[in-house]
Structure 1
Amino acid sequence: MLVDFAPLRIPLRRRLQTLVVLQWVFSFLALAQCCLVLFVALLFTRFWFVSVLYATWWFWDRNTPYQGGRRFRYVRSLGLWGHFRDYFPIHLIKTTDLDPKKNYIFGFHPHGVLVAGAFGNFCTELTGFQTLYPGLKPHMLMLPLWFRIPFFRDYLMSGGLVPSDKESAKYLLRRKEGGNVAVIAIGGAPEALDARPGAFTLQLKNRKGFIKLALQFGAPLVPVFSFGENEVFNQVRNPKGSFLRRLQDRLQKLMGISLPLFHARGIFQYSFGFMPFRKPIHTVVGKPIEMEKRESPTQEEIDELHQRYTEELSKLFEEHKTQYKVPEDRHLTFT
Structure 2
Amino acid sequence: MPEIKTTRRRFIAGTSAVAGATLLTGALSRPAWAAFPERNLEIVIPTAEGGGADRDIRIFTSVWKNHIETSFEYSFFPGAAGQVGYEVYGGKREPDCYSLLFANMGPEVIMQALQKPSVKLGEDFVYINQISSEVMSLFVPANSQFQSIEQLVEEGKKRTVTIAVSRLPHPASIGCLALAEATGANFQLVPYGGGNPSAMAAITGEVDACALPLANPIKLGEQVKILTTFGNNPALAETGNAPAVNSVFGTKIPELTSSRGFGLHTKAIEQYPDRFEVIKSSMEKVKDDPAYPEAVKKAGLPTAFIDFGDKQRAMQGAEETLALAAKYEALLTGK
Q: TM-score range by the shorter chain?
A: under 0.3
When Rg is computed on C-alpha atoms for both structures, the one with the higher figure is 2
> Greater strand share, 1 or 2?
2
TM-score using structure 2 length:
0.27
